[in-house]
Amino acid sequence: MKIIFQDEFLMVIDKEAGLVVDRSNTQIGDTLEDILKKEYAIELERGGIVHRLDKDTSGVLLVAKTQEALENLQKQFKERKTKKEYVALVHGVSREAGKVEGNIGRNPKKREKFVVLEEGKEAVTEYSPEGNFQFSISNFQSIFNDLNKIQMRKLERMNYNQFTLLKCKPLTGRTHQIRVHLKYIGHPVVSDEKYVGRKIYRLDKRWCPRLFLHAERLGFYHPKSGEWMELEAKLPEDLMAALDKLQ
């Protein structure tokens, strides 16, 4: 486990993609909570985990080592005193910053998914474009070399070749919030199995191995000293390699 910072009160880690954060009825053992309790002897609720990241999301995650620190940090999240920044590669072209304000709740038809619902919980996400990207002609032809001319023209007509790297700042902390909000505004995250659509997901997986969503930066007040801290986790190699395929 890659530790970015730690002292006697807290630990900040760079969570790898594929690691489940919390124990559940369907996931017991091999979770971050198990690792923290067994290997780091953090005998707090949820192993001291202050907030959560989806299984396939990588990046900065905050862990408390004492009960006092846990309560302090949880209160900061609840009162929106923290600063969270994510990086997401999305489909389509976005050139202006914006804010998505849409309540989020479980999809009534597919309970494992979430959607924007009027009766859902308040959710707000700010976003700003970092750059627009597309495949080079050679990379496009190489990645999809098994498709015929008709299929290739179809990809071009649906603008599959257009992407935007977004900086996202969730002001609330709903499950799948960034993924649901970006889908809602027509810019689903690349390789998002739940929200991008089955056909697009199969195309994405040819060149991007997993969900292109990374928790890049987290800011908070130290629970003991009160000092403002900002910790950063660089974009991992697998997502850098996917981005390198684009211009």
At 88-120, the pLDDT tens digits run 999 999 999 999 999 999 998 888 899 999 999
Domain 2-244 in this protein, CATH class: alpha beta
How do residues 191-217 score in pLDDT, each as one tens digit?
A: 999 999 999 999 999 999 999 999 999
Annotation says 204 is catalytic: no
Contact 187, 164 (CB under 8 A): yes
What pLDDT band is residue 49 in, cutting at 50, 70 and 90? very high
Per the model's pLDDT, the better-predicted residue between 1 and 220 turns out to be 220
Two tokens at 220?
């908070």
pTM: 0.93
Beta carbons of 61 and 21 less than 8 angstroms apart: yes
Amino acid 89: pLDDT:
98
Where do the structural domains in the chain lie, given as residue ranges? 2-244
Residues 10-35: what's their mean pLDDT? 86
Residue 19 confidence (pLDDT): 93
Catalytic residue, chosen from 14, 30, 34, 54, is 54
Q: Is the pLDDT at 233 greater than 70, yes or no?
A: yes
pLDDT digits 0-9 by tens, 114-141? 999 999 999 999 999 999 999 988 888 8
Separation between Cα atoms, residue 143 and residue 206, nearest integer Å:
7
Cβ contacts of residue 86 below 8 Å, gap of 6+? 57, 59, 167, 168, 169, 170, 178, 213, 214, 215, 216
- Residue 62: CB atoms within 10 A of its CB come to 25
pLDDT score recorded for residue 27: 62
For residue 124, give Cα distances in angstroms to 22, 60, 95, 201, 237: 24, 20, 19, 26, 29
